[in-house]
Amino acid sequence: MLYVMGIITTALVCPDFPAFMILVYFFETYLDLRQRAALKLPTLPKTLVGVISQEKFEKSRAYSLDKRFVLYCN
């Protein structure tokens, strides 16, 4: 418990910590937007042809889009 408190205290005192957290937030948001754009493509990527079926790809894509929609709504 003291170790965790030490980390929290160091993070709050360190002037670079908020900037780092903001940078991580923007990077993760960028990755989410890229993934969402990739999920909107209806065709199977060339690298996955022969690995999975079109039907399985469509089900996975639909599930991922629905899951992301629920996360944004909550």
- Reported as a single tens digit per residue, the pLDDT across 20-64 is 788 888 898 898 889 888 888 888 888 888 999 989 999 988 888
Smallest CA-to-CA distance from 60 within 31, 46, 39 is with 39
The parent domain of residue 25 ranges over 1-40
CB 64 within 8 A of CB 39: yes
Are 58 and 70 part of one and the same domain?
A: yes
CB 48 within 8 A of CB 74: no
Domain count, the chain: 2
Asked whether the predicted pLDDT for residue 8 surpasses 70, the reply is no
Asked whether the predicted pLDDT for residue 2 surpasses 80, the reply is no
More confident residue, 17 or 74: 17
pLDDT in the model for residue 51: 92
CB 11 within 8 A of CB 43: no
Asked whether the predicted pLDDT for residue 66 surpasses 70, the reply is yes
Q: End-to-end distance of the chain based on CA atoms, in angstroms? A: 31
Are 35 and 46 part of one and the same domain?
A: no
Smallest CA-to-CA distance from 55 within 42, 66, 70 is with 42
